[in-house]
Amino acid sequence: MSEPDCLSILDVPRIRADFPVLGREVRPGVPLVYLDSTATSQKPKQVLDVLTNFYRAHNANVHRGIYTLAEEATAAYEEARAKVAAFIGASSPEEIVFVRNATEAINLVAYSWGRANLKEGDLVLLTELEHHANLVPWQMLAAERGIRLEFVPVTPDGALDMEALPELLALEPKLVAVSGMSNVTGFQPDVKSIARAAHDAGALVLVDGAQLVPHAPVDVQELGVDFLGFSSHKMLGPTGVGVLYARRDLLEAMPPFLGGGDMIRWVKLREFATNDIPYKFEAGTPPIAEAVALGAAVDYLRSIGMEKIHAYEQALAEYVLPRLQEVPGLHVLGTTLERRGAVFSFWMDDIHAHDVSQVLDYYGIAVRAGHHCAQPLHTKFGVTATARASFYIYNTPDEADRLIAALYKVKEKFG
């Protein structure tokens, strides 16, 4: 992939103009090259405008008020829910629960569905690719309830070992919980095939969509996903809000998770009845303005088109990966170009990831260093920490060139 080929897919300069932070200099004369969208994305002014306009003109609490502002706020909040539902192909807005982030979405499933449906000895099948968000909640349940955990192995090139799947599914897991895209290797598992096989084996399917939803078209019905969790802040929206999608019949059968206002139908001193879905799972004042702004982020992404975004990032991956691999002594964790996003975790011989990231920062390049909340995956590859450069719609091949150039400087400095 060449630079111009990439840029024929997406009008990146025009997109960049929407993101105020991209005009920033890290130090006088050193412009920001933001390559950490996997941790959190930047926000376009269209999203910030909706966010502040909500507070400046319509702010009120939702669902109960009869006055003008409250009705406007409620309508905006519910409209955001409908936008999110349409964005991921849910069959109705009631299948969308607003939570804080992908992490809470998965915990909600573990606490509510998990504690109601899993008993000692039951199996939850995970993968070695998983982010801590899709490991720790199940470990907690294993410690509390004695459920068992098994893991689909990762291949040396950072993909999932699909050949191991049938054997693992033969153990009859109750749930298969898998990342839709690794935040380390960028690998995008074939969720549709996994879901079909899992369903055939009698398991439900949870997808950790924290990376998938911002970077690829998602249709939960067509993929056959039962639960999907993702975060607004990784898809151009604000922090403080995330989404749990779950199939209506599952949500209806699940017991409540957090108790309080709005999730109830009625309350007496010693008992309560739960509200209808999705409100049953939204206790207390929700992240109202954040959800409304997430709706604006969805609008923005749709106006570009998720197919295009996905294609652009695949093209970027083809551009970046070989160039990275040319840097002497640099090893990429995740070397497949099939089914991958533009995320590159790497380590350099004899140079700690912290030092790599620090030197890159000197050149204005923001990359993350650490285990990226996927410590078992790093352990598997025998490294404690990697540096990670991740690209989104506002990043250019030129920025990749700057990254590569700076990596040669790192080598020089520490060589």
Ligand X SMILES: Cc1ncc(COP(=O)(O)O)c(C=O)c1O
Interface contacts to ligand X, rule CB under 6 A: 101-103, 131, 133, 179, 183, 208, 210-211, 231, 261, 284-285, 373
Sign, CA torsion 110/115/120/123: negative
Say how many CA atoms lie within 13 Å of 382 toward its Cβ.
4
What distance in Å separates the CA atoms of residue 79 and residue 288, rounded to the nearest whole number?
11
* Percent helix / strand / coil, the chain, rounded to 5: 45, 20, 35
Residue with smaller CB distance to other proteins, 362 or 408:
362
Amino acid code (one letter) for 244: L
Among residues 102 and 251, whose Cβ is nearest to a second copy? 102
Write down the catalytic residue from 243, 373, 377, 389.
Answer: 373
Based on the shown chain and the rule CB under 8 A, indicate whether residue 256 belongs to the binding site for a second copy: yes
Q: Name which of ligand X, other proteins, a second copy, none residue 179 binds, using a CB cut-off of 5 to 8 Å depending on partner kind.
A: ligand X
The secondary structure element, H or E, covering residue 204 is strand 204-208
Q: Select 76 or 154, whichever has its Cβ closest to other proteins.
A: 76
d(CA 139, CA 123): 12
- Give yes or no for residue 340 binding a second copy (CB under 8 A): no
Nearest one of 130, 47, 29 to 394, comparing CA atoms: 47
C-alpha–C-alpha distance, residues 394 and 240, integer Å: 22
E strands along 209-326, which residues?
227-231, 242-246, 264-267, 272-274
* Measured distance CA(184)–CA(206) in Å, rounded: 19
- Please identify, using beta-carbon distances, which residue of 70 and 304 lies nearer to other proteins: 70
Binds other proteins (CB under 8 A): choice among 1, 32, 59, 65: 65
Angle between helical axes of 288-304 and 68-87 (0-180°, round to 10): 40
Q: CA torsion 176→378→111→145, rounded to 10°?
A: 80
Which amino acid is residue 170, in one-letter code? A
The residue (of 288 and 297) whose beta carbon lies closer to other proteins is 288
Q: Which of a second copy, ligand X, other proteins, none does 112 bind, CB closer than 5 to 8 A by kind?
A: none
Q: Is 332 helix (H, G, I), strand (E, B) or coil?
A: strand
Please select the residue that binds other proteins; options are 119, 192, 302, 354, rule is CB under 8 A.
354
From the list ligand X, other proteins, a second copy, none, partner contacted by residue 208 (C-beta under 5 to 8 A by kind)? ligand X
From 97-105, 191-199, 334-342, 398-406, span contacting a second copy (CB under 8 A): 97-105
Q: Does the annotation count 373 as an active-site position?
A: yes
- With CB under 8 A as the contact rule, the residue among 233, 371, 388, 411 that binds other proteins is 371
The yes or no reply on residue 164 touching a second copy (CB under 8 A) is no
Return the residues of window 379-408 that contact a second copy according to CB under 8 A: 379
Task: Find the binder of a second copy among 165, 369, 400, 403 (CB under 8 A).
Answer: 369
Distance CA 409, CA 406 (A): 5
The number of CA neighbours under 13 Å toward the Cβ of 95 is: 23
Q: Which amino acid is at 34?
A: Y
Q: How many residues bind other proteins (CB under 8 A)?
A: 25
Query: Counting contacts by CB under 8 A, is residue 64 touching other proteins?
Result: yes
Question: Judged by CB under 8 A, which of 114, 173, 287, 397 binds a second copy?
Answer: 287
- In the shown chain, the binding pattern of residues 247 to 276 toward other proteins, with x for contact by CB under 8 A and - for none, equals ------------------xx----------
Residues that bind other proteins (CB under 8 A): 63-66, 70-71, 74-75, 78, 265-266, 352-355, 358-359, 362, 369-371, 384-385, 413-414
Q: Give catalytic residues, as residue numbers.
A: 373
